[in-house]
């Protein structure tokens, strides 16, 4: 198999890249080269900016692929460009969409690929929906061999998966836990959530490559394990060897007072209960099973980050914001109870 990945070094794609190379797949990575230390040695590197369409067309002029995957397409213009570049040059085109595109609020907490797509809270999700619609139109009208994949919250060893964190990632929350400082948990912490280790995601994804039954289909890839946010934060604290000091803050309050887009990532995603039905994936990829239990995956992630200082990026601004939010909540409670 000859495959081309647009991207290839992110949380989702890196695990897929490693597993494919072990299987001897002829893998090309179209990458700007800004993260050369993460590029695998056994892959063929096509160094280019995918947005430089003319140059990319020259690079791939003599190449044809069994599968092309775009991990970094976010807007309709991106997939329109992909269609121009790869029509007639691949037997399968896979677009990485997002499970955040599913209906918010949900009419049924059990999510299948048939759940309506609608997210009034997050432009990111609406753009992914528009990308899907464009590509499926090309499939229906012109036979473009597209497969849509919708990941949910996927994590690896480089970042602790959380509900609320700053622009520098999750380390500052872990640091607050280690310092016994209070940590914000959105809502009352009882909403249901699904997290998937990237090695498990890769197993399901690789089963879709070259799969004739996946052409023209949309499929999400997640773990079958469902946990509450209270459980998630307890698991992280336990992995750090500390006692959790949680402060529950309404998601609408957090979204209203944050400089970040928590309206999208919380109200349009993590504040909602989600339980995924993976029956379709298991029909397409017989034998698929996510085997990394969340507490095991989090433990490995925490151990990795604690021994790799380069992933311990502090975020003083977020730290101060947490203190201010918690103080405001406590003052409000004190005033109401006085």
Q: CATH number of the domain that 306 lies in?
A: 3.90.25.10
Looking at the structure of the chain, the number of domains it has is: 2
- Which percentage of the chain shows pLDDT scores above 70? 99
Give the residue from 214, 216, 194, 193 showing the smallest Cα distance to 205: 214
What value does the mean pLDDT take over residues 314-323? 95
- Asked whether 209 and 92 are in contact (CB, 8 A), the reply is yes
Statement to judge: residues 213 and 137 lie in one domain = yes
Give the residue from 148, 119, 128 showing the smallest Cα distance to 270: 119
What value does the mean pLDDT take over residues 102-129? 94
Query: Is the link from the previous residue into 221 a cis peptide, with omega within 30 of 0?
Result: no
Length of the chain: 338
Statement to judge: residues 126 and 253 lie in one domain = no
Q: Which domain holds residue 217?
A: 2-154+196-221
pTM for this one? Answer: 0.94
Statement to judge: residues 318 and 202 lie in one domain = no
Q: Quote the pLDDT of residue 194.
A: 97
Within a domain: residue 233?
Answer: yes
What value does the mean pLDDT take over residues 276-284? 97
Within a domain: residue 284?
Answer: no
Buried b (16+ CB within 10 A) or exposed e, 167-200: eebbbbbbbbbeeeebbbbbbebebebbbbbbbb
Statement to judge: residues 95 and 164 lie in one domain = no
Q: Which two tokens stand for residue 120?
A: 């009034």
Q: Quote the pLDDT of residue 35.
A: 62
Q: Model confidence at 228, in pLDDT bands (50, 70, 90)? A: very high
Statement to judge: residues 23 and 122 lie in one domain = yes
Q: Quote the pLDDT of residue 73.
A: 93
Statement to judge: residues 186 and 202 lie in one domain = no
What's the CA gap between 179 and 242, in Å, rounded? 9
What's the CA gap between 11 and 281, in Å, rounded? 20
What value does the mean pLDDT take over residues 224-237? 98
What value does the mean pLDDT take over residues 203-224? 97
Residue 53 has pLDDT above 80, yes or no: yes
Q: Model confidence at 106, in pLDDT bands (50, 70, 90)? A: confident
The sign of the torsion formed by the CA atoms of 231, 235, 237, 238 equals: positive
Q: Model confidence at 36, in pLDDT bands (50, 70, 90)? A: low
3-state helix, strand, coil in the chain (%, to 5): 45, 20, 40
Residue 259 has pLDDT above 80, yes or no: no
Within a domain: residue 279?
Answer: no
What value does the mean pLDDT take over residues 139-159? 97
Residue 32 has pLDDT above 90, yes or no: no
Q: Quote the pLDDT of residue 34.
A: 60
Statement to judge: residues 180 and 305 lie in one domain = yes
Statement to judge: residues 320 and 244 lie in one domain = yes
Residue 38 has pLDDT above 70, yes or no: no
What's the CA gap between 85 and 136, in Å, rounded? 17
What value does the mean pLDDT take over residues 86-113? 95
Q: Model confidence at 280, in pLDDT bands (50, 70, 90)? A: very high
- How far is residue 238 from each of residues 173, 174, 178, 245, measured CA to CA in Å? 14, 11, 11, 12
What value does the mean pLDDT take over residues 207-234? 97
Q: Quote the pLDDT of residue 37.
A: 65
Contacts of 275 (CB under 8 A, 6+ apart): 109, 110, 111, 192, 194, 226
What value does the mean pLDDT take over residues 264-272? 93
Statement to judge: residues 187 and 215 lie in one domain = no
Q: Model confidence at 253, in pLDDT bands (50, 70, 90)? A: very high
What value does the mean pLDDT take over residues 41-55? 92
Within a domain: residue 93?
Answer: yes
Statement to judge: residues 44 and 119 lie in one domain = yes
Residue 218 has pLDDT above 80, yes or no: yes
Q: Quote the pLDDT of residue 107.
A: 87
Name residue, tokens 């955040």.
Answer: 100
Q: Quote the pLDDT of residue 40.
A: 79
Q: Quote the pLDDT of residue 197.
A: 97
CATH code, 125: 3.40.50.720
* pLDDT single digits (tens) 66-97: 999 999 999 999 999 999 999 999 999 999 99
What value does the mean pLDDT take over residues 153-172? 94
What's the CA gap between 77 and 105, in Å, rounded? 28
């Amino acid at each position: 198999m000859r495959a081309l990945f647009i991207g290839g070094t992110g949380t989702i794609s890196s695990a897929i890249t490693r597993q494919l190379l072990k299987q001897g797949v002829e893998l090309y990575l179209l990458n700007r080269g800004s993260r050369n230390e993460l590029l695998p040695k056994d892959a063929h590197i096509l160094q280019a900016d995918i947005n430089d369409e003319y140059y990319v067309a020259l690079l791939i002029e003599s190449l044809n692929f069994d599968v092309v995957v775009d991990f970094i397409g976010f807007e309709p213009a991106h997939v329109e460009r992909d269609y121009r570049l790869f029509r007639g040059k691949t037997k399968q085109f896979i677009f990485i969409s997002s499970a955040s595109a599913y209906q918010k609020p949900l009419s049924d907490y059990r999510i299948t690929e048939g759940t309506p797509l609608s997210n009034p809270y997050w432009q990111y999700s609406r753009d992914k929906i528009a990308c899907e619609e464009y590509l499926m139109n090309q499939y229906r009208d012109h036979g473009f061999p597209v497969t849509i994949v919708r990941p949910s919250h996927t994590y690896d060893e480089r970042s602790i998966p959380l509900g609320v964190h700053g622009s520098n990632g999750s380390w500052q929350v872990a640091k607050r836990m280690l310092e016994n400082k209070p940590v914000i948990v959105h809502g009352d912490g009882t909403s249901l959530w699904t997290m998937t280790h990237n090695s498990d995601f890769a197993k399901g994804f690789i089963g879709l490559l070259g799969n004739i039954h996946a052409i023209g289909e949309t499929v999400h890839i997640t773990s079958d394990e469902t946990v509450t946010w209270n459980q998630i934060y307890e698991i992280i604290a336990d992995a750090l060897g500390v006692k959790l000091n949680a402060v529950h803050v309404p998601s609408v309050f957090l979204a209203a007072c944050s400089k970040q887009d928590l309206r999208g990532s919380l109200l349009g995603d993590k504040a909602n209960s989600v339980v995924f039905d993976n029956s379709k994936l298991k029909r397409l990829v017989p034998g698929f099973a996510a085997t990394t239990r969340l507490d095991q995956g989090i433990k490995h992630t925490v151990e990795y980050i604690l021994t790799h200082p380069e992933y311990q990026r502090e975020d003083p601004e977020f730290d101060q914001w947490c203190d201010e939010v918690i103080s405001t909540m406590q003052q409000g409670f004190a005033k109401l109870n006085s």
